[in-house]
Chain A
Amino acid sequence: MNKTYYVCKYTPVELLAAFGGECEILNEMPEGFERADQIAHPNLCGFGKSVLEAVLAGHVKELILVNCCDTIRSVYDLLEDSGQMDFLYMLDVLHSDGSCSRERVASQLKDLAEAYGAYRGREFDLDLFRKAFQPRERTREPHLAVLGARMGEELFEMTKKAMPLPVVNESCVNNRSVGREEPPAGVDFDALMEWYAGEILGQLPCMRMLDNTGRKQLYQDPSLKGIIYHTVKFCDFYSFEYSEIKERADVPLLKIESDYTVQSSGQLLTRLEAFAESLSMDSDGRKEPTMGKGYYAGIDSGSTSTDVVILNKDRVIVAGVIMPTGAGAALGAERALEEALKEVGLAREDIDTVVTTGYGRTAISVGDKSITEITCHARGAHFLDPEVRTVVDIGGQDSKVIRLNEDGTVKNFVMNDKCAAGTGRFLEMMARTMEMSLDEMSKIGLSYKEDITISSMCTVFAESEVVSLIAQNKAPDDIVHGLNKAVAAKTASLVKRVGGEEKYMMTGGVAQNQGLVKTLEERLGTKLVISDKSQLCGALGAALFAADMAEE
């Protein structure tokens, strides 16, 4: 017999065990959704697609689903039609735990017992049922918790590794709490199922339940030191809770979203590491600092450009270069560092410590330590203007908004989704469509006449909108202004989500785009501080951390 997989905490796992079933949570993150996309729509939530993928790949033959949400209902419909399962069952768990609901659920448990017993050719074994009830220990030690939508195994492992404190998975199916009570003795099967239905429905409620006020205990635990709030793309349930928790929780909170594939981990790792850095700045470097000439370098390896800043022992910028990253992060970093050294007439040995940051930071071998661009941008911005409390950074493939504490450490931050909308790449693609350089584009939107709105935020659709505006002979100024408005709206939304406060600084290459800066200022109703070193901000922060390392 195969394992019986389940996905939801309302699954009567103990009942299945009573028929000799070996149950396991289905939580695989696939490489991609090639098989699932053949039978389902791409805009189904990634977890739903991962269930389809696991079945279609032949990993799962027995599956018990619950009518958790519209996606899981669809997954059941598709699997039922596929005819690829040995045993497939969907429980219709009601949305409240009143007495009528318990009665209806008890009746369903009996139906499931009959179907599963017949499938396995076994009778209900009371001893096995009783043994299956195992209370779950809750930690009282300081810890972090993953809350929200279910998190794939691989991502959870990555999260645990990145965090400075133990991490408990309290998301979705992982906070199942059946087992606190033992089954009553000396009652018949019907009475036992009624009691069991009460236990199942009486758990800490999930977001699908009508009354879910009990969920507050998840974030009101005194030993909880921080929350990693996870949502799954195209699953909307938990965004409602996130929206509430972000206003109410008094511990640090990081929101991450995954599409349930292993590939999405790169961008998420940056966020996780930045959050870990904001919880406790890890001060031990990889290398013992050597007594050198008192120069420190920061390298910011971005998707478009690699920037290097060199500071002297008085923390004065002696060199700053910006070079295209080219084909590889490591090579680009080497070249940019050489260029910076040349600019100021130093040799590699003159640099005491090097800190790397940016997308390619871990691929660079020349560094002594790597720190995320979020922490570095905050540090750099604080150095350039200590009054800055919010940094807006629109980079090549990421947009981020960072809230700063008074000392320049990170208070909170948000980043865009995986999609290119609202990033530098979006503007780059649009500039190409309009056959102009980014430089031209940055000035041209300033003198618009007609207030055009580009309604599509999807880069591909927006491009076709731009093409049709060109075909309508709309003035380039007006179109570019429309594009600037689209990016500004997206950025302003990030600012609102993170609770942006004065003074604002804009960093990254896009800060040189005058048209966009003006539109964003209008949208936010404030001025943006733009330093002449805005593009070097990440590298500057990294160099400051390098200096700290050497002085410790």
Chain B
Amino acid sequence: MKGVETFGHYVEKWSESSPAKARRLLKTGWEAQDLKFRFLPEKELNPSDRYLARIMMDAMLYPLKDPEHSAVVSIFTPCEMLQEAGLHPYNVEGFSCYLSASGAERAFLQASEDSGLSETLCSYHKTFIGAAQTGLLPKPKCIIYTNLACDANLLTFRRLAEYYGVPSFAIDVPVKQSEENVAYVAEQLRDMKTFLEKAMGKTIEEDALKERLKRSRRTQELFEQFQSGRADRYIPADLVSPLYSGMTNNLLLGTEQEEKFVEMLLEDLKSAPPSKGKRIYWMHTIPFWSQAVKDALVFNENAQIVGCELSQTVDLTKHSEDPFEEMAMRLVYHCLNGGIARRIEAGIRHARQAGADGVVWFNHWGCKHTLGGSQLAKKKFEEQGIPLLILDGDGCDRSHGGEGQTATRLGAFLEMLGENDHE
């Protein structure tokens, strides 16, 4: 941990005076981490999750190595067309998480606030904007984003496009679920194809795109199988793996790597022992940095996370053979789109599917939709017989912590679920 702190401290420090040097250090640090994942993986994790850590690290390194072939994206941007165009996702939420994991988020948060942005803005957005504006993060080829699930995207990505001076494309996703709205989004996605072709000087073949979409669907169906299959099994879990899968299931959906990861999950399931301890389904992002949450839930046979909302956002009952309509359906019928009731219903369904004993609704500071719906969620989950803990915190910014409170709330919730009953 000391090493990470020192490394992050220098990234922060140099980013003020010599951003290029800070970027080189960041890349070297992350490459070292990548090597560790390959040769000294976390022994307690299953092979699938070890593989996941590597593909996620690779996804973070690409934009630093080759920004010309990277597009800044929001987490729910459909990425299959990017893959066909030869672009890597350069993801705002992911980068902020990794900067925070490297202990380097504070200076960038501060830089954003210094420029006049509000303290209450989501820390993922603030960290990335700060890191971009201090020159740490390289200029991408282009920017693609959607307002889906997060209205701050409208502001953050527009600002990044202005700052970097690169072309940007926004996918406007209406709130209501209807065929007309699918058609409206599909039309935009066709325009997005033209936008990408122009940016990359390359034609996106529709047949290849169709094949990719088929892979995406296969991957999601297999992941659903895994979530159902794990209901009576024990899978060792840390805090980052469920979060990584929340990222790769969106950003890398359609790639061979993601499909391989999901196949490995099912393979690992075959040898998984019967379920042990209390099982927690996690709504929204996970504060992986929090010692209090680590103490409660990492590699703990008494209590562990059995799924994260962010990796199960698609309504698989909707399907189209047309690739643009297929992607548009994913967005319009997305579990986080529309009224909070849709998100809550999906959460209840997924918590039951994974055999969860309780649910943590993580009120990431700055996420107004999550905060706004939290009390309603508590009521609805509990009406369905699923205990729910509202946990206030921050997925990225340590200063919004309150570790003592987190430990007490989470500890009491696990005690309430009867964490130690079986001992």
User: What is the interface of chain A, defined by CB distance below 8 A to chain B?
Assistant: 39-41, 43-45, 48, 67, 69-71, 73-78, 80-81, 90, 92, 94-96, 100-101, 104, 107, 207-208, 210, 231, 233-237, 239-240, 242-243, 246, 255, 417, 453, 455-458, 461, 464, 468, 489, 492-493, 496-497
Contacts and interface: CB of A to CB of B under 8 A. Distances in A.
Given A92-B175, A101-B172, A493-B114, A207 B363 contact: no
Interface in B299-342: 339-341
Contacts of B402: 456, 458, 461, 464
A294 to B, nearest CB: 46
Task: Give the interface size class of chain B.
Answer: 35 or more
A239 B184 contact: no
A468 B159 CA distance: 40
Given A76-B339, A92-B176, A239-B121, A100 B184 contact: yes
B342 to A, nearest CB: 10
A208 B159 CA distance: 13
Contact of B115 (A78, A243, A453): A243
A492 B363 CA distance: 29
B114 A208 contact: no
10 contacts: A43-B120, A43-B363, A71-B372, A81-B376, A210-B172, A237-B155, A240-B117, A453-B106, A493-B114, A497-B116
Contact of B151 (A70, A76, A456, A461): A70
Interface in B330-381: 339-341, 363, 365-369, 371-376
B101 interface: no
B153 to A, nearest CB: 10
Contacts of A73: 175, 339-340, 369, 372
Given A240-B117, A493-B110, A41 B374 contact: yes
A105 to B, nearest CB: 10
A-B CB proximity, top 5 nearest: A74-B372, A243-B116, A239-B118, A70-B368, A496-B114
Contacts, number: 144
Nearest to A76: B339
A417 B119 CA distance: 10
B373 A74 contact: yes
B398 interface: yes
B174 interface: yes
Given A104-B184, A236-B120, A489-B110, A70 B372 contact: yes
Contact of B376 (A77, A246, A458): A77
B150 A70 contact: yes
A208 B153 CA distance: 10
A489 B371 CA distance: 28
Contacts of A78: 372, 375-376
B135 interface: no
Contact of B118 (A48, A69, A208, A231): A231
Given A70-B368, A74-B340, A92-B174, A236 B118 contact: yes
Interface string B178-195: 001100100100000000
Nearest to B344: A77
A468 B113 CA distance: 28
A92 B184 CA distance: 13
B102 interface: no
Nearest to A67: B175
A74 B369 contact: yes
A239 B401 contact: no
B269 interface: no
B152 interface: yes
Q: Which of A81, A236, A455, A497 has the most CB of B within 10 A?
A: A236
Contacts of A231: 118
Contacts of A468: 403-404
A421 to B, nearest CB: 10
A38 to B, nearest CB: 8
B154 A45 contact: no
Interface string B24-39: 0000000000000000
B172 A94 contact: yes
Given A236-B155, A240-B155, A77 B373 contact: yes
B384 interface: no
Contacts of A43: 120, 363, 365, 371, 392
Nearest to B111: A496
B384 to A, nearest CB: 15
Contacts of A234: 120, 368
A44 B340 contact: no
B376 A95 contact: no
Contacts of B120: 43, 233-236
A317 to B, nearest CB: 37
A236 B117 contact: yes
B174 A94 contact: yes
A70 B398 contact: no
Nearest to B340: A77
Q: Which of B113, B120, B147, B365 has the most CB of A within 10 A?
A: B120
A41 B372 contact: yes
B371 to A, nearest CB: 4
B115 A44 contact: no
A207 B155 contact: yes
Contacts of B180: 104, 107
Contact of B117 (A48, A94, A95, A239): A239
A74 B181 contact: no
Nearest to A212: B158
Nearest to B343: A77
A124 B391 CA distance: 49
A239 B129 CA distance: 13
Given A41-B363, A104-B180, A236-B152, A210 B170 contact: yes
A378 B363 CA distance: 42
Contacts of B405: 464
A455 B122 CA distance: 17
A275 B400 CA distance: 32
B399 interface: yes
Contacts of B159: 240
A461 B180 CA distance: 49
B323 to A, nearest CB: 19
A39 B375 contact: yes
Contacts of A90: 175
A236 B150 CA distance: 12
Contacts of B154: 95, 207-208, 210
A246 B116 CA distance: 8
Contact of B401 (A208, A210, A255, A461): A461
Nearest to A105: B174
B369 A96 contact: no
A401 to B, nearest CB: 12
Q: Which of B114, B118, B147, B341 has the most CB of A within 10 A?
A: B118
Given A43-B365, A489-B110, A96 B172 contact: yes
Nearest to B338: A73
Nearest to B5: A453
Contact of B371 (A41, A107, A243, A457): A41
Given A76-B339, A210-B154, A464-B405, 14 more contacts: A44-B371, A73-B369, A74-B368, A75-B372, A77-B376, A104-B184, A234-B120, A237-B155, A240-B158, A255-B116, A455-B106, A458-B399, A493-B110, A496-B114
Nearest to A107: B180
Contact of B116 (A39, A242, A458, A461): A242
Given A70-B150, A77-B339, A242-B116, A456 B372 contact: no
A464 B292 CA distance: 14
A99 to B, nearest CB: 11
Nearest to B107: A489
A90 B147 CA distance: 18
Contacts of A489: 110
Q: Which of B175, B184, B405 has the most CB of A within 10 A?
A: B175
A208 B151 contact: yes
Contacts of B392: 43
Interface in B131-157: 147, 150-152, 154-155
A78 B339 CA distance: 10
A109 to B, nearest CB: 14
